Amino acid sequence: MTRQVDALQAKPAPLGRSRFLSTLNLANIPRRGLILLAVLLALLIAAPAFTSDYLLSILILILYFAYTGQAWNVMMGFAGQLSLGHALYVGIGAYMTAALFIHFGTPPWIGLLVSVPIAMAAGAVIGFLAFRFRVAGTYFAILTIAFAEFARIGFDHWDWVGASSGLFLPVATYTQNDLWHLRGRPIMFYYLILAMTVLAFLLCRWLLGSRLGYFWQAVREDEDAARAVGIATFRTKMAAVVISAGLTSFAGMFYAFYYNNLFGEQVFSIGRSIEIILGPLIGGVGTLFGPVLGAFLLTGLAETLTEILGLIGVDLPGAKQVFYGFCLLLVVMVMPEGVWPWVARKLGLETRQ
Amino acid sequence: MSALLSVAGVSKRFRGLLAVGNVSLDVMERDIFAIIGPNGAGKTTLFNTICGVFRPDGGTIAFAGERIDGHPPDEVCRLGIGRTFQLVRPFPGLSVLDNVIIGALLHHRSVEDARARAEEVLRRLDLFNQRHQRAASLTLPDRKRLEVARALATQPRLLLLDEVMAGLRPTEVDRMVAIMTELNRTSGLTIVLIEHVMRAVMALATRVLVLHHGAVIAQGAPAEVVRDPQVIKSYLGAEEL
Ligand SMILES: Nc1ncnc2c1ncn2[C@@H]1O[C@H](COP(=O)(O)OP(=O)(O)OP(=O)(O)O)[C@@H](O)[C@H]1O
Ligand SMILES: [Mg+2]
């Protein structure tokens, strides 16, 4: 009896700063991996100095997908809950920050205080309905699509956000970068999305190694076995959905202020949700580097392809989509775990990084 | 002294089939209680009913004086009942160590503490050297041991073991028996085990219950039970004695 009581009173150990930093401890990444990571980061930081505007816009796109892929991966890769409707959270994040900015001049960083909680609440509603009423697997994925579709139709009819004629942010020719209002030149957006991607990576790394991260993986691997070791699976899955939704909605703010126009019909479309998941699927679901590598491979190659087709004067509508499909097929058949685990083995790095 | 686990008149049906019919049993603190019986007798179903996988169709189950029938499995585990699955269910894609860490995290907030606890349990079950292997890559006997390790890591007061000796070689059975005896002696762990390996049952059990077609046909000290004519007829067969 006393043993039991002891155990139950296990120290509440707050996740303070020192613990956070110690979990980020890079010591357990092999040296080669660290060097590689440092070089990659240095290249990305230096990139704007020697790339054209066009190349910069592609790097921005790549990092955008690396970020959203990472955010999606929390739900599917870590906790095993397949969402095919992540455009919903991007859309909520984009529309809310943009509309507040347009109507009230609210700086986007303040707008986040509204948009992120709304996206998280939307995730919570979906999660609650699904997990409370045991909607799992394919049906869960369909439910996530359904909500994105509701939003697509809803936003397309909502006058406050411009309905079907779109929502536009005021644009001028910027000579200065205003980070607080996110008005400025592409280079500002490049560094913003780079910082977001790095932070998301670190956050996910910390989450995966945390108590919650272990519980997520247990649920992903075998939900019944997870319950048998005392894991409250409902709460665990809810946390995954809500965190993933919140992170994803952050990217919505970026999207809105970078592109300056929003059409519900596009923003919430299934195509957008699929684009988000392609990176991690190809790079490696459930790994930390997978979403990043996948985004580089997929977007990088797709843009190269478009470029080459343009150069030789071939105009093939939908070539990019066909290319995506081809990549996906290839990866599913040749390396179903994604490209990263294979690369990691080749580099002699741990597979579960 | 009142029982740690008290099952009273529990029944569980699957459509027309009465898998467990009006079973009552009391497990005292520090007992090693064996449940035996032929295939399909309802042993696993009884376990699942205790663990909260199934809600009993009738009867009550109490643990440490508290009603637990109908409680969900995670809550039952948090109250102090650990279990293994007959058809082993480790977390296949995770390492052996991570599997056990997950169990240990039930009562440890910090992953480091859980890791220390998990390593201790793995040493105890001779799995320490395999700790970095993926659970899916283990041999069946090792996966069975991993099931035990993961359940133990949750620091249960009562451990339910569903045929963990099946498929083990005699020396491995003896090793497992030694581990169970030690756990029972040193940490006062109460154990209920479903087992076909009579060698293990006779070595471990302080009490034996025989289930047949969902009903209790005998219950008592091991030496008495194996001499019961009805038990011999329906389960053991004369040659095993
Ligand atoms: N989920 C289920 N749905 C329907 N019938 C079930 C279910 N689980 C078990 N049964 C049936 O209930 C009866 C008892 O099964 P149970 O698995 O409890 O037996 P057991 O004593 O554990 O047998 P064994 O020694 O083979 O493991 C069997 O007839 C089985 O087919
Ligand atoms: Mg059974």
Ligand 1, pocket residues at CB < 6 Å:
B 14, 17, 19, 37, 39-45, 86
Residue B86 within any structural domain of the chain = no
Beta strands B215-220 and B207-212 are antiparallel
pLDDT digits (tens, 9 = 90+) for A223-258: 999 999 999 999 999 999 999 999 999 999 999 999
Q: Indicate if B63 and B124 belong to the same structural domain.
A: no
- Cβ atoms of A219 and A226 within 8 Å: the answer is yes
The answer to whether residues B162 and B66 belong to one domain is yes
For residue B161, give the nearest of B146, B139, B182, B140 by alpha carbon: B146
Residue A116 maps to a domain: yes
Domain boundary among B155, B186, B210: B155
CA distance B24 to B36: 15
Residues of B in contact with A350 (CB under 8 A): none
What is B39-52 written as a DSSP string?
TTSSHHHHHHHHHT
Given strand B215-220, what is the order of strands in its sheet?
Answer: B81-83, B158-162, B190-194, B32-36, B207-212, B215-220
- Rg of the Cα atoms in chain B: 17
**Candidate of B14, B46, B162, B193 to mutate for ligand 1, largest count of ligand atoms within 8 Å of Cβ:** B14
Do B182 and B22 contact (CB within 8 A), yes or no? no
Are the C-beta atoms of residues B158 and B27 closer than 8 Å to each other? Answer: yes
**Do B43 and B144 have their domain in common?**
no
Q: Are B33 and B151 found together in one domain?
A: no
User: Residue B85: inside a domain, yes or no?
Assistant: no
Task: Print pLDDT tens along chain B (241 aa).
Answer: 579 999 999 999 999 899 999 999 999 999 999 999 999 999 999 999 999 999 999 999 999 999 999 999 999 999 999 999 999 999 999 999 999 999 999 999 999 999 999 999 999 999 999 999 999 999 988 999 999 999 999 999 999 999 999 888 899 899 999 999 999 999 899 999 999 888 889 999 999 999 999 999 989 998 888 888 888 887 776 444 4
Buried b (16+ CB within 10 A) or exposed e, A42-68: eebeebbeeeeeeebbbbbbbbbbbbb
- pLDDT band, very low/low/confident/very high, at A268 (cuts 50, 70, 90): very high
- Identify residue A306 by its one-letter amino acid code: T
Same-domain pairing of B26 and B130: no
Q: How far is B90 from chain A (nearest CA, A)?
A: 7
Same domain, B71 and B162: yes
Q: Give the containing element (helix H, strand E) for B27.
A: strand B17-27
Q: Per the structure, how many domains does chain A have?
A: 1
Instruction: Label residue A127 exposed, middle or buried (CB < 10 Å: 0-12, 13-18, 19+).
Output: buried
pLDDT tens profile A34-74: 788 889 899 999 989 888 889 999 999 999 999 999 999 99
Per the structure, how many domains does chain B have?
Answer: 2
CB within 8 Å of A220: residues ≥ 6 apart: A78, A79, A80, A286
Q: Is residue A131 part of a domain?
A: yes
Whether B42 is in a domain gets the answer yes
In a domain, A319, yes or no: no
Check which CATH number belongs to the domain holding B163 and give it.
Answer: 3.40.50.300
Does the residue B100 lie in any domain?
Answer: yes
> Which residues are within 8 A (CB) of A147 and not within 5 positions of it... i.e. 6 or more apart?
A85, A88, A122, A125, A126
Same-domain status, B194 and B225: yes
Which residues, listed in sequence order, are joined to residue B17 by a DSSP beta bridge?
B14
CA distance A178 to chain B (A): 42
Phi, psi values for residue A75, rounded to 5°: -80, -50
- If asked whether residues B73 and B103 sit together in one domain, one would say no
Q: What is the pLDDT of residues A78-124, one digit of tens each?
A: 999 999 999 999 999 999 999 999 999 899 999 999 999 999 999 99
Element (H, E) at A95: helix A87-104
The sheet carrying B17-27 orders its strands as: B17-27, B5-14, B58-63, B66-67
Q: Which residues contact A240 (CB under 8 A, 6 or more apart)?
A: A74, A75, A78, A79, A81, A216
Residue B204 falls inside a structural domain: yes
Question: To 5 degrees, how large is the angle CA A130–CA A89–CA A102?
Answer: 145
- How far is the alpha carbon of B129 from chain A, nearest alpha carbon, in Å? 18
Cα B162 to ligand 2 centroid, rounded to whole Å? 7
Indicate whether B58 and B95 sit together in one domain. Answer: no
Give phi and psi for B61, each to the nearest 5. -130, 130
Would residue A88 count as lying in a domain? yes
Nearest to B159 by CA among B84, B76, B94: B84
Q: Does B162 share its domain with B147?
A: no
Are B116 and B229 found together in one domain? Answer: no
For A120, list phi and psi in degrees, rounded to 5. Answer: -65, -40
B80 → chain A, closest CA residue: A4
Q: How far apart are CA B43 and CA A293, in angstroms?
A: 50
The reply to whether residue B107 touches residue A10, judged by beta carbons under 8 angstroms, is yes
CA atoms of A335 and A163, how far apart (whole Å): 43
Structure tokens at A143: 């439910």
Q: Do B111 and B168 fall within a single domain?
A: no
Q: Whose CA is nearest to atom 31 of ligand 1?
A: B40
Structural domain contains residue B192: yes
Name the residue range of residue A172's domain: 2-276
Residue-range definition of the domain harbouring residue B95: 91-155
Q: How far apart are CA A323 and CA B40, in angstroms?
A: 54
